[in-house]
Amino acid sequence: MTSVRQQTSNIMAMAKILFTHKPFLNPMQVWNPEMDNQIQALEESFGINENEFMRAIQSGLYLWNENLESSHVISQEITSPTGSYWHGLIHRMEGDFSNAKYWFNDARHHPISTQLVSSLRAYLTMEQLAKLDNETLRSKLEVLVASPVWNPAVFVDAVALQLMHVQDSLAEEWLRQIQYLEMKLLLNYCYEQSYGGSLLEAIEQQ
């Protein structure tokens, strides 16, 4: 078992690399196989101090590395809203949209939701959305930007439309960035609950 300091150092090192990659909406293969080995080794370091948020961090790192299977094995054993949120993300990225909605509903109004809405509005505006030709997808994104609360079911619908019908390059860029923000906030939340302090701020200060 490694020290808490070593654990946080390892997590920060992995996250710093993973943050340079913006996961695909529907990934087909692991992004960095070597990173998978490092994520697996993290589990062996938890020891008797392991808690559900540590496991959720591991699930999130696997998902960021686009290893959906390994992430799913962990998240399905975490019964909290946070575990359900990771579970919903996995199913959305698998293209299992109805199951994704089920797990997002089970996650209820997750603590990251307020910050996610703020981050979304800072990134995407109604004026930018006017550039999107597909009216159906544009209306879904307009709902997300206009809503005072995060609506994961509407985002699932937007991703499904993009992947299955629209396939617009600009929409792809927007949706991947929103997913990036979502995953970043959720991973940071898990880190805060496990170790205290912000993972994002710690990385910036390195």
Q: Where are the domains of the chain?
A: 4-205
> Residue 49: its pLDDT value, please?
64
Q: Within a 13 Å sphere around the CA of 182, how many CA atoms are in the beta-carbon half?
A: 24
For the range 125-132, what are the long-range contacts, defined as Cβ-Cβ under 8 Å and sequence gap of 24 or more?
128/174, 131/170, 132/168, 132/170, 132/171
**Cα-only R_g, the chain:** 17
* Residue that the structure tokens 């299992």 belong to: 96
Instruction: Check residue 112 and give its pLDDT.
Output: 97
Residue 1 is predicted with a pLDDT of: 53
Averages of pLDDT over each 10 residues, the chain, 206 residues:
83 97 98 96 76 95 98 95 97 98 95 97 97 97 96 98 97 98 98 95 89
Task: Give the C-alpha separation, 98 to 91, whole Å.
Answer: 8
| Predicted pLDDT at 71 | 98
Q: Closest Cα to residue 140, out of 158, 163, 153, 159?
A: 158
Looking at residue 50, its pLDDT comes to 78
What pLDDT, on the 0 to 100 scale, is given for residue 205? 87
Q: Residue 191 class from Cβ within 10 Å (0-12 exposed, 13-18 middle, 19+ buried)?
A: buried
Residue 51, pLDDT score: 87
